[in-house]
Amino acid sequence: MRRSANWRSLRERGHPGRRVRLRLVVACVATAAVAGPLLWYWQASRLPSTYAVTDHGYADAGGATHNQAAHAHVGHSGRSVDALTADPARPPDVALTLTARQERFALASGRKVRGYTLNGQSPGPVIRATAGQLVQVTLINESVPDGVALHWHGVDVPNAADGVAGVTQDAVGLGRTHTYRFVVDPGTYWYHSHQVSHAQVVGGMLGALVVSPDPADTLALVHVYDGIRTVNGQEGDVRVPAAPGQRVRVRIVNTDNGRMSAWVSGAPFTLVAIDGTDVHGPTEVRDVAVPVTAGARADLSISMPADGGGVRVHLGGSAALLLGAGAPAVPKPAAELDPLGYGTPAALAFDPERADRRFEYDIGRRPGFLDGKPGLWWSINGHLYPDVPMFTVAEGDVVRMRIANHSGEAHPMHLHGHHALVLSRDGRSATGSPWWVDSLDVGNGESYDIAFVADNPGIWMDHCHNLPHAGEGLTAHLMYEGVTTPYTVGGRAGNEPE
């Protein structure tokens, strides 16, 4: 009683000590109001030191009814990614060993750079095979402290051979080995590390895989080392012998993080394959640039002029292949070849209109915390990683996906283990050859409808191939019902796929 009376009298007199205390309380409450939510979001965003990708985010069944999902589940439950392999009894047709090192090395051009090599070189050895062969690669990590894992970009490998650290295997530590086995289809592919990939791929842990009966094909694997663009490790103008009248197939591989344009002077050309799949009925074109997005491949076929004239294939602004006598450099043509309307239509083996699953992959950008780090991060369907969809399918499903991008930047989206058919862009339907991709450039403000058949069970990354973007949250997964993984991100192996 006495105490409260005192308080009242204090208030009435406006005691300075009390005013100070009150101000302090108000200041503390205001501080809590400002800092509290931030601290909460920060804490909530922190990832555990080890986690399975399948434990994060939320399952997205793509509108499949419960019954369908339950039905598809029968007889498939509990398969580990480790069990999804090529026939283990089949002997390999092509077998080789790749030894990974972190070192300072010389490019084919002679320039010394610091980075990563396979068998002492970067780009690594070109792996050549023919259709239907079983390729077996034994990876040895000799001196890469962070560990390595090799992903076969564009090859629809069995899931166990996908080479994603923390999803389909553990990163291969110092002194350890890992064996990849898969059967190949014709086409131009490449391989690269999927462990700390944003650093290891830039640093040169990559190479080409060419599946073709013709060993004379010209490879143009483009990679930027230390800010210098190279073609097969060579800088500037790279000469390739070619006889008049000869048909030259140039297999372009963009291993960088951004889109590159290729254009030809000296002769017309045809775009004969995209991402390892032949274009149906391609027509000869000239004075157009061919966009090659990050991770993508484009095969150009060029007839050398009968009069002995040479040809120049421009690869971005600073590198070029000179076929035969070569030709002068010309500026990039304003017109771009749009695969949406290139070539002629062909029958499909599936009906995209009868989709079992329909997914949205909506790319945005918003402020928030990613594993405790504040910043502006890429969002998927409005959420930040790891609160992203797990696109869930059953084997045999026809899957449609709409990839829309309003994030302010372009994203080269890459789905592992599958090739997807582009149906339309911004609502405009494809009118040309079936356009099959594994790496699709989705520009800012664009939206693509794609479709594919879920015919390769496993847990597959579906991410941006501007690799730093993948580490900034632009990573989701496609998961088949009943498939599980024993591997985790983080953990003792230090798995860090992005």
Partner 1 sequence: MRTAYRVLAYIIAAEVVIQAMAMVYAVAGLGKWIEDGGVLDKAVMDSDTTPFDEVVGFAIHGINGMMVIPLLALVFLIVSFFARIRGGVKWAGLVLLLVVLQIVLGISGHSVPFLGALHGLNALLLFSAAVYAARRERTITGTPTAVGEHRVPTTA
Phi, psi at residue 468, to the nearest 5°?
-60, -35
Smaller CB separation from partner 1, 28 or 96: 28
Token match 């290729």: residue? 262
Smaller CB separation from Cu ion, 380 or 459: 380
Smaller CB separation from Cu ion, 405 or 488: 405
What is the distance between the terminal CA atoms of the chain, rounded to a whole angstrom?
A: 66
Interatomic CA distance for residues 170 and 192, integer angstroms = 16
Q: Which of residues 207-236 bind partner 1 (CB under 8 A)?
A: 222, 224-229
Question: What is the 8-class DSSP label of residue 340?
Answer: G
11 binds partner 1 (CB under 8 A): no
Stretch that binds partner 1, among 25-33, 129-137, 211-219, 472-480 (CB under 8 A): 25-33
Choose among Cu ion, partner 1, none what residue 372 binds, the Cβ cut-off being 5 to 8 Å by kind.
Answer: none
- Residue 238 is which amino acid? V
Q: Which of 1, 2, 4, 13 binds partner 1 (CB under 8 A)?
A: 13
Q: Which of 93, 338, 409, 446 binds partner 1 (CB under 8 A)?
A: 409
x/- mask, partner 1, residues 429-448, rule CB under 8 A, reads ---------------xx---
Question: What is the 8-class DSSP label of residue 352?
Answer: T
Interatomic CA distance for residues 304 and 246, integer angstroms = 5
- Categorise residue 19: left if φ over 0, alpha if ψ from -120 to 50, beta otherwise: alpha
Question: What is the 8-class DSSP label of residue 333?
Answer: P
Stretch that binds partner 1, among 58-66, 178-186, 250-258, 414-422 (CB under 8 A): 250-258
299 binds partner 1 (CB under 8 A): no
Interatomic CA distance for residues 418 and 85, integer angstroms = 16
Stretch that binds partner 1, among 68-76, 237-245, 255-263, 448-456 (CB under 8 A): 255-263
Choose among Cu ion, partner 1, none what residue 464 binds, the Cβ cut-off being 5 to 8 Å by kind.
Answer: Cu ion
Cα–Cα distance list, 394 to 154, 458, 479, 482 (Å): 21, 10, 8, 9
Interatomic CA distance for residues 365 and 103, integer angstroms = 36
Q: Which of 322, 325, 286 is nearest to 309 (CA)?
A: 325
Smaller CB separation from partner 1, 73 or 114: 114
Choose among Cu ion, partner 1, none what residue 342 binds, the Cβ cut-off being 5 to 8 Å by kind.
Answer: none
Q: Return residues touching partner 1 (CB under 8 A).
A: 13-14, 16-17, 19-20, 23-24, 26-28, 30-31, 34-35, 38, 198-199, 202, 222, 224-229, 254, 256-261, 294, 316-318, 365, 367, 374-376, 408-409, 444-445, 466, 468
